[in-house]
Amino acid sequence: MAGKRNQAVVAVISDLTSVQAAQITKEIMVAKSKHAIHARGTIAAGKKEDVGLLIQKGRKQLAKKGV
């Protein structure tokens, strides 16, 4: 596929069980490895009251990698 690599996807899905969160996490990782082989990313699952912290942690990790 041609085009600039300047797009990103951020999703927050709440009201899941831990099993559902794990399954969605797994499926996202599989889709990323299939469609964006060389892309960098971060994924986190946790309690919905900690969503802000999870997002901040992910942003800090990406900043360290130079993204």
Using a cut of 0.85, tell me whether the model's pTM lies above it.
no
pLDDT confidence of residue 67: 53
Quick one: 45 exposed, middle or buried, by C-beta within 10 A (0-12, 13-18, 19+)? middle
- Asked if residues 39 and 32 have their Cβ atoms less than 8 Å apart, the reply is yes
Residue spans per domain, the chain: 18-65
Percent of the chain at pLDDT exceeding 90: 34
By C-alpha distance, which of 21, 27, 19 is closest to 46? 21
